[in-house]
A = this chain, B = another copy of it.
């Protein structure tokens, strides 16, 4: 190598090495592409881990972790069977430690674990596939809580919101699950893309979607368990009613009647949804639980107002909707809950789907209710 080439080589590694210092893999190693979605809907996953003894793929389209094999350069890989088109969380299990895919910037935002996300589009666009249609805006905002400080919230405004400045919109409050954060509904649930597509097809009304952070941190510790725990529920309710709700009504062109307000949520956020939604019939006419977390003793707590006068409840609620997968661990208790609703003659719609407690089902549930809300 002549001097210039030597210098360039040195410079490249000096800079790359400094920048990617935390990568802890040898410079000059093999180029690793992962995930690689193939034309036949198989997926090739790769991880450079020359020192690892055992690497598995843990993907939510597989029933169990799948062994990966190492090549001479230390790259572990596996190519799956054809995968049903959808968007799935996955991770690698390296000698027992779960890690996200370092080559994939599509991350599952979460404060309890690290997953990556892979999208298999197939030949027909899905309801959550990014397409060339008018797109809404996803805004990251802060509002102020006297107790909790600066609180993050993600807000979807539909296509045309910025230009149709006389139009007001109905609003959906959409809550994430336990250990998720305010951007999980867009990044893993694709709420914005689902609405873009359904609005473009005339199947959903243009609406604003408000996605707050469901944990009353720092009052409630991030390691304090379910969002449904009583202390979090109380602190979150206070923040929701006292700070978030006024922030939204002041800063967004949302309609201010209860028939133009919906609340929905997944898992622990589904528990929050039933508690806030059913006990505040003056605020919300549309209440949707996506595999809502609950224990039997919460039935009355969540439904105190609704159970007190079923006739009035049925008149007030435009939609009370519950979705759950048959393989979800919550399926038995949600079934018990649905029986109680029948006994009490509380009107409700259900979607009992395939699958488990997953974000694949969340996308299905959101795309289902989005076509019912405000219609």
Residues of A at under 8 Å CB distance from B?
A: 4, 8, 11, 13-15, 17-25, 31-33, 49-52, 58, 60, 65, 89-91, 93-100, 102-105, 107, 109-115, 130-132, 135, 137-142, 144, 149-150, 162, 165, 177-179, 181, 186, 192, 221-223, 251, 267, 293, 295-296, 327-330, 332-333, 356-358
Contact = CB atoms under 8 A, between A and B. Distances in A.
B132 A150 contact: yes
**Overall SS of chain A's interface:** loop
A139 B138 CA distance: 5
B111 A130 contact: no
A19 to B, nearest CB: 5
Contacts of A132: 144, 149-150
Question: In this complex, which of A31, A100, A110, A140 has the most chain B Cβ atoms within 10 angstroms of its Cβ?
Answer: A140
A220 to B, nearest CB: 13
B140 A140 contact: yes
A24 B112 contact: no
A96 B52 contact: yes
Number of copies of this protein chain within its complex = 2
B330 A15 contact: yes
A8 B162 CA distance: 48
Contacts of A177: 19
A8 B112 contact: no
A60 to B, nearest CB: 7
Question: In this complex, which of A93, A102, A104, A109 has the most chain B Cβ atoms within 10 angstroms of its Cβ?
Answer: A102
Contact of A15 (B4, B13, B165, B357): B357
A105 B100 contact: no
A330 B10 CA distance: 10
Contacts of A14: 329-330
A98 B102 contact: yes
Going nearest first, the 9 A-B pairs with the smallest beta carbon separation are A14-B329, A51-B96, A24-B98, A105-B111, A138-B140, A23-B113, A15-B329, A18-B357, A22-B91
